[in-house]
Amino acid sequence: MEFSQPNIFYYFFLLLIPIIIHLFNLRKHKKIYFSNIYFLKKIQTKSKTKQKIKRWILLLNRLGIISSLILAFSLPFIINNPNEKQTKKIGIYLDNSFSMSLLDTDNTQLITLAKKNAKEIIKQLNENEKILILTNDFEKKHQKWYGKENALSLIDSIKISGNKQDFHTVINRFNKNIDSLELNKLYLLSDFQKTDNRSLPNLNKYNSTKILHLKSNNPLLNISIDSCYFPNPFRKENEIENLNVIITNHGNENITTSLKLFINGKRSSMNNIEIPKNTSITKTLYYVNTSENNIINGIITIDDTGIQYDNKLYFAYSIKEKIPVLSIYEDSLSNYIYNIFSDSLFDFNKQNINHIEYNMIKNYNLIVLDQLTEIPHTLKEVLKTHLNGGQNIFIFLKQKINQMSYNTFFKSVDGDIINGWDDTKKQVEYINYVHPIFKSVFQQKKQNINLPKTNGCFSIIENEKAHKRDILNFIDRTPFLAEYFHQKGRLFICFGDLKTNSNFGKHALFVPTLYNASILNDNKNEIFHTINNEVIIRQTQLNVDDIIYLKKEDIFNLRVQSIHHPQKTLINFGNKIQTDGHYELIVNDLNVSPLAFNYNRNESQMYFLNKDEIKRKFQDKNIELLKVKKNTLAKGYTEKKDSNLEYFFIRLTIILLIIELILLRLWKI
């Protein structure tokens, strides 16, 4: 038998108290008046012997009461297998995600209780056992083995974090830091929120996992601001903006809250909204787009007593940002195209077929091929890469072209094949009202609408591999304007001659068609980014030698590098962005672009695994669910014990007390 609290043995000195009392009582004498001394001596001899026996029995019983009580407080245990190999390395994963900021019934945060339990586990370990502290942050200090004292200090420094790791990643990280041939233990202290759907990696036979499940008994009510977006991509100064905000009530009760909008530090609007239970709603906020420096930094907030991290959403954009469009022409640029993209909304560039800057093509949202006779081989490859990267191409054909050149390109991107020119006069009879290119153009379908006419058009041979969507068709359903999907991009083909054989360039549909083709898949419509373990954003018009910094006021300054992919230009911030808010992307100390980062909303949903679900998740794994009361391990918790004996001695104390009461009543001592 061993003891968790052997210091309690000092209280065995208390056994002297009943012994002293017993000896003192033996020395007491009583005067008894009796008429016949002979009979008195006989009575005294018999009574004295009985009394001594009774007093000794009571003394032994009282010594047993005190001894069993002291033994109970010393937390005795028996090691069932004393020859079992002891662990040398202990891993403790302390979940510090946002959901661990919830309160229990005593209004204590779960993260505080997790830290308290982790300390209790560490304190009972042997001095020669090494400890690895894991959190969701995966910092360098979480990859080192510590002694007890340093591990306790590291536990104190853990704070709530916006990072969230699944158990698959945590276990893999632990496995990389241990010797698989030694006995190891991993403690998982978490609320086990249902955000992790990945299956768990295999644990070798020498690993044992201890699970401490923390629970929040408060009502699971939470509201989150999930996202915001503009219904149209154009941002103009001094115009009214319509900002759509998505808000979700994750609880089982209808909730009324206050929704506030701040633009550049000033409150722009406030609304009281009611959100039905387990429902997402979209609320439109209105404000005027004004800014002295062309930069808008916005914050949307709600009043909510649940999880706090999702009560605020940041967004940012620049009014001066323009949509980059490139037109490639042969003889001269069509006036129809120039008149559209000369608007201040666009960063319009035109290049002759003989002077193309191929390395800059990836920076344009839309590339317009303006009636080229043929497509050069190099341009074909660049355009295909452009489509793969999610950008758009608009091709205007003309009557006299190199069909083989075009068909080679169309085959490579799974488009239809040009068959030949048809001089028949045709009227466009069909319009696809639901196509995104006509978004906000029509409020309803119209009868006898005036559609484009043509004096000739290319016929096609349909490609079985083509992912095609009709836009404008003739009465026989042959296409005048069609869209083809390739990878992430869109290819628009007008099969008529824009200059000589069609009135499409002068038609009212021409302007919205080109406008919307330039903004589909437009990354500039992203007014915020989400913080993940690796944050990658897309930027245009960056050069290899640009000096790029990401800055947040005076508290964050990070030097970053752009990644020049053939399809797009990316910036990888890794896991350096830890807090949400407004940032500035500074290029060469001149160009400043506003950026907004928000925490991932995965933890907004208030769903947690129960005991049975945890067991199923760790199916066939060597696990043990630790017993807790009010989210706290029992005082004096230790992994050394196999059989607990404190309750035995508590019961023995109670039995001995009952025996003493019975004896005192029977013997009337």
Q: Residue 221 — pLDDT band, cuts 50, 70, 90?
A: confident
pLDDT on residue 366? 94
Residue 525 has pLDDT above 80, yes or no: no
Q: Which of 146-160, 398-412, 510-524 has the lowest mean pLDDT?
A: 510-524
467 versus 68: the higher-pLDDT residue is 467
Give the residue with greater pLDDT, 665 vs 135. Answer: 135
Query: Given a cut of 90, is residue 350 above it in pLDDT?
Result: yes
Of 538 and 367, the one with more pLDDT: 367
Average pLDDT of the segment spanning 96-120: 91
Q: Contact at 8 Å (CB) between 470 and 482? A: yes
What does the pLDDT read at residue 390?
83
Residue 624 confidence (pLDDT): 86
d(CA 285, CA 498): 41
Any bridge partners for residue 146, and if so which? Answer: 131
User: Which domains occur in the chain, in start order?
Assistant: 2-79+646-667 (no CATH), 89-219+606-639 (3.40.50.410), 323-523 (3.40.50.880)
Lowest model confidence (mean pLDDT) among 111-125, 192-206, 297-311, 511-525 = 192-206
| 411 band by pLDDT with thresholds 50, 70 and 90 | very high
Q: Return the HEC string of 485-554.
A: EECCEEEEEECECCCCCECHHHCCCHHHHHHHHHHCCCHHHCCCEEECCCEEEECCCCCCCCCEEEEECC
Query: Is the whole-model pTM more than 0.75?
Result: no
Highest mean pLDDT among 42-46, 290-294, 566-570: 290-294
590 token code pair: 């001149």
Q: Which of 16-30, 219-233, 511-525, 639-653 has the highest mean pLDDT?
A: 219-233
For residues 370-387, b (16+ Cβ closer than 10 Å) or e, as one string? bbbebbeeebbebbbbbb
Average pLDDT over residues 357-381: 92
Nearest to residue 510, comparing CAs of 328, 323, 335? 335
DSSP state of 590: T
Condensed to tens digits (0 to 9), the pLDDT of residues 41-75 reads 555 555 667 777 888 888 888 888 888 888 888 87
Q: Across residues 624-648, what is the average pLDDT?
A: 75
Q: How far apart are CA 593 and CA 80, in angstroms?
A: 67
pLDDT score, position 83: 44
More confident residue, 493 or 563: 493
Beta carbons within 8 Å of 42's beta carbon, 6+ residues apart: none
pLDDT grade, residue 251 (50/70/90)? confident
Looking at residues 161-169, what average pLDDT do you find?
Answer: 87
The DSSP letter of residue 193 is B
CA distance linking residue 398 with residue 160, whole number of Å: 63
Q: What is the pLDDT of residue 544?
A: 76
More confident residue, 467 or 23: 467
Instruction: Tell whether the model's pLDDT for residue 298 goes beyond 60.
Output: yes
Close Cβ partners of 311 (under 8 Å, ≥ 6 residues apart): 223, 224, 225, 301, 302, 303, 304
* Of residues 611 and 495, more confidently modeled: 495
Contact in structure between 250 and 605 (CB atoms under 8 Å): yes
Opening angle at CA 538, ends 534 and 539, nearest 5:
135
Query: Quick one: pLDDT at residue 80?
Result: 53
Q: What is the rounded average pLDDT for all residues in the chain? A: 85
Task: Using the CB atoms, write b or e for 101-133: b if 16+ within 10 Å.
Answer: bbebeeeebbbebbbebbebbbebbeeebbbbb
User: What count of Cα atoms within 13 Å lies in the side-chain half-sphere of residue 404?
Assistant: 0
- Comparing 492 with 201, which gets the higher pLDDT? 492
| pLDDT bucket at 519, cuts 50 / 70 / 90 | confident
Q: What is the mean pLDDT of residues 635-644?
A: 60
pLDDT at 480: 96
Strand ranges inside 4-119, DSSP E: 76-78, 89-94
* pLDDT in the model for residue 429: 93
Residues 634-653 have a mean pLDDT of 72
Q: What percent of the chain has pLDDT over 70?
A: 89
Beta bridge partner(s), residue 5: none
